[in-house]
């Protein structure tokens, strides 16, 4: 089970949370102020593992997304 890093939007406290599934990410709340306005940080561990074709399929279709014309 991966551990994600979150940052609370209300108190600004960074914390780590063990998330069992992708759906559970939305259920994470701040352990300090109990706010559910948290943002998942990009893990440095996930960026290093770039060769494993896991369940995360985030394909950024970044081609001409700025909108010409
Ligand atoms: Zn908080």
pLDDT in tens, 51-66: 555 555 555 665 665 6
Identify the bridge partners of residue 39 per DSSP, sorted by sequence position.
Answer: 7
Please give the distance, rounded to the nearest whole angstrom, from the Cα atom of residue 41 to the centre of ligand 1: 15
Please give the distance, rounded to the nearest whole angstrom, from the Cα atom of residue 7 to the centre of ligand 1: 8
Domain boundaries, the chain: 3-48
Architecture per CATH, domain 3-48, reads as Single Sheet (2.20)
pLDDT in tens, 21-41: 878 878 899 999 999 999 998
| pLDDT, position 23 | 81
**Which of 36-66 are b and which e, b meaning 16 or more Cβ less than 10 Å from the residue's Cβ?**
eebeeeeeeeeeeeeeeeeeeeeeeeeeeee
Please give the distance, rounded to the nearest whole angstrom, from the Cα atom of residue 48 to the centre of ligand 1: 28
Q: Give residue for tokens 């599934």.
A: 21
* pLDDT of 45 higher than 70: no
């Amino acid at each position: 089970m991966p551990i994600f890093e979150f940052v609370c939007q209300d108190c600004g406290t960074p914390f780590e949370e063990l998330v069992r599934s992708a759906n559970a990410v939305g259920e994470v709340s701040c352990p300090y102020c109990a706010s559910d306005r948290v943002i998942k940080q990009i893990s440095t561990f996930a960026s290093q593992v770039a060769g494993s074709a896991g369940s995360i399929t985030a394909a950024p279709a970044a081609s001409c997304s700025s909108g010409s014309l």
